[in-house]
Structure 1
């Protein structure tokens, strides 16, 4: 176990491979060429790094036509990368301007396939305050009233439980240093907001735009003021 841990940590610790993993937190699949551009390395070097990550089962590859698309091999890899970001030292002093005006990536973003940043944490806080979710031994659980709430909201809990992945878990937010929701429930909640046009993705970024409709609905359902 110790040897395997060291091997995995060494793989991720390489600057180029770390940049690849950070890029893939976007939640989309990328071609080798796209990753080469994103992390500023040659196609030959990218091929070597992707080979090592595939061998370690940290990435998977899917072929569509002439292209190969790379993504995390499973959701747990994404959680690990996001959690590692929490090791980044937080600035000791922040100016008033910095604390009042969040950069878009810290204000509202994706964490692989769920909502993160200040808004993601605020939504989670609201669900806890409304007793829709309850915290139990550092885990999240859905209360009995929460089951009705999710059903009324249009999320099928039974179907979510059948997915071959973690159902519901807290995910430590690297910019807020507090938990947001991950797992199949977090993914379904985020997709609902995207499909209902509360939120919109931005090109080549994990930052998320909140629409005018989203501002109203976030206030209505979660008492979150944008």
Structure 2
């Protein structure tokens, strides 16, 4: 625990982890830019994070890329973020537009988070795609039919890993879903340009096609999505 605590107890390292939480891999230079530090300093921080098990590195050609070590790490980081005081979130939401956009929709490693992620989770439960318990979630009777209609293959869980899990949303303080089903939904939304990634941010921009699609497939109109997202 002391190794983990020491690794997280630095603002620059936390900015690096936040950048990596959108699920993509970045170079040392890209992460240095995101954290507003020099590449040399970023290298030191990345060694600390990798030694603590938070990140992993991979080489592609001449470049070395860094990423979150796995979905379990992303889940832990999201849960830790939910301990942030709610008044702190409100102060941030009144700041830059990118921050407000991240409250509305963002990537949480390989799935959707923010207000949109929570609303989609609630609608999937209402449609019978998933079954929600107090702290549990399972696939519902309409899961396969929904995947077929949405144009995604019914995801297969990994060994010992469920098809869908609950992830506590750090801004909404409610659950959104993670796991292979949530990943497939996000990938479909990005491929169809219902959502577009923002450079230098985990925020996901909802396109005009996206608002129409979320209304069609999830019964979420624009007013429902935007309602408290900009508050």
- Under TM normalisation by the shorter chain, which class is it? 0.7 to 0.9
Alignment RMSD (CA, Å): 2.4
Q: Which of 66, 69, 72 pairs up with 1:70?
A: 66
Cα deviation digits, residues 101-137 of structure 1 (max 9, x gap): 9911111111111111111111111111222211135
Task: State the distance in 2 between where 1:22 and 1:94 align.
Answer: 18
Alpha-carbon displacement from aligned partner over 1:46-94 (angstroms, at most 9, x marks no partner): 2222112222222111111211000011111111111111111012996
Q: 1:120 aligns with which of 101, 117, 120?
A: 117
Distance 1:165 1:56, change over 3 A: farther
- The answer on 1:149 being equivalent to 2:150 is no
Report the Cα distance in structure 2 between the residues aligned to 1:61 and 1:47, rounded to whole angstroms. 11
Structure 1 stretches of 4+ with a deviation exceeding 4 A read 92-95, 162-166
Superposition pairs of residues 82-121 of structure 1, within 5 angstroms: 82-91=78-87, 103-121=100-118
Counterparts in 2 of 1:118 and 1:31: CA distance versus 1, 3 Å: same
Question: What is the number of equivalent residue pairs in this alignment?
Answer: 218
Q: Taking structure 1 as reference, are residues 53 and 189 closer, same or farther at Cα in structure 2, changes over 3 Å only? A: same
Describe the shift of the 1:142–1:77 C-alpha distance in structure 2 as closer, same or farther (beyond 3 A): same
- Whole-Å separation in 2 of the counterparts to 1:58 and 1:93: 24
The runs of 5 or more residues in structure 2 that have no matched partner are: 223-231
Q: Cα gap change, 1:65/1:93 in structure 2, threshold over 3 Å: closer, same or farther?
A: closer
Match of 1:131 in 2: 128
Residues 166 and 35 (structure 1), Cα distance of their counterparts in 2 relative to 1, 3 Å cut: farther
The answer to whether 1:225 aligns with 2:221 is yes
Residues 220, 144 of structure 1: CA spacing in aligned structure 2 closer, same or farther, 3 A cutoff? Answer: same
Of 166, 171, 183, the residue aligned with 1:170 is 166
TM-score, structure 1 length as denominator? 0.87
Name stretches of at least 5 consecutive residues in structure 1 with no aligned partner: none
Instruction: Tell me the equivalent position of 1:216.
Output: 212
